[in-house]
Amino acid sequence: MKTDYSDIIERVLIDEESLKLKIKQLAKTINTYYEDKDTLILVGILKGSVMFMAELAKSLNIDLQMDFMVVSSYAENTYSSGNVKILKDLDIDIKDKEVLIVEDIIDTGYTLKKTKENLINREAKDVKIVTLLDKPERREVEIKPDWSGFKIPNEFVVGFGLDFDQMYRNLPYIGVVKRSFYENIEDAK
């Protein structure tokens, strides 16, 4: 079992303790916002949001349901193609419901903007966004989260649900990937 990722990770950007603390703070704010509203539906965007959504849900003390979507604009690349596809849709009807999209990271914004538009078109009562990470300098479309954990620089990151080629999601922290690591792999494709 590999425990040393120094050949891949340049540095830890956000440690495990900071992640947990920030998620508890986000949950407190969300609890307050939704305390007098109807049942909340958390919509996790798979696969990256799983770790964040699980930690967030554990700290929410409001009535909620959870569902998931698989929405992608990345395919097998490290950059967004801008072509957004729904690969797995919701099982829950969201018409007239309070919806909170739970996202791991907002980068270009293409995926999230299309997802939010899609949920609004289904006549949700309200659609808000919470993201663990926000990378505003990479934004190519107008989209802002209602709640955000950390603003991060334009670096390629993995861990706590975020991946590179479906790997490294299980790291308990957010780490910056060495440029040489992903450039060598992308050049080989």
Measure the CA–CA gap between 161 and 163, rounded to whole angstroms.
Answer: 6
State the pairing for strand pair 85-88/64-72. antiparallel
Instruction: Pick the catalytic residue from 91, 107, 134, 163.
Output: 107
107 catalytically annotated = yes
Measure the CA–CA gap between 166 and 148, rounded to whole angstroms.
Answer: 24
**Beta carbons of 86 and 118 less than 8 angstroms apart:** yes
Task: Please give the angle made by the CA atoms of 173, 177 and 180, to the nearest 5 degrees.
Answer: 165
Q: Kindly list the catalytic residues.
A: 107
